[in-house]
Amino acid sequence: MGKKRIAVKSEEELIKEAEKLGKREIKIKVPKKVSEGKIYIFSSYNNTIITLTDMKGNVIYWTSAGKVGFSGTKKGTPYAASKAAEEAAEVAKQIGFEKVEVLIKGIGSGRESALRTLGAKGLNIVSIKDITPIPHDGPRPPKVRRV
């Protein structure tokens, strides 16, 4: 069969690799410091998307569970949503958000954990609003079947 090779890495290489996996730098360009803003959390069964905007609704930064590094069915988990919320909270602090309004949309499992993570990271949440669309009458029922 042949000899098996064991890859031996030095401590410096292992430290560099761990730093790459653990922390990645978030670089954003903001024309001015924004003190107030809105954070939109859209949570579906497949993914959680978090968007940071100013008070007018202009998007400053967005992140999702897929962008953070999760793939497949793992994107829809509460853990993936909390990791995406951690990244969004870091960026919100860099931008200078002091007061934040949170608007939640969707019925996924990540909505609760993302909100808890934003609060735990030290953001001053002024209001929480659920903007999930709810049908009030629904579509017209189909015609009666004639056989």
Residues 91, 93, 99, 104, CA torsion sign: positive
Domains and CATH numbers, the chain: 34-130 (3.30.420.80)
pLDDT tens-place string over residues 5-20: 766 767 777 676 666 6
pLDDT the model gives residue 132: 95
Question: Under 8 Å CB-to-CB from 89, ≥6 apart: which residues?
Answer: 117, 118, 121, 122, 123
pLDDT tens-place string over residues 78-136: 999 999 999 999 999 989 999 999 999 999 999 999 999 999 999 999 999 999 999 88
End-to-end CA distance of the chain: 70
DSSP per residue over the chain, as a string?
--PPP-----HHHHHHHHHHHH--------SS--SEEEEEEEE-SS-EEEEEE-TT--EEEEEEHHHHT--GGGGGSHHHHHHHHHHHHHHHHHHT--EEEEEEES--THHHHHHHHHHHTT--EEEEEE-----SS-SPPPPPP--
Predicted model pTM: 0.78
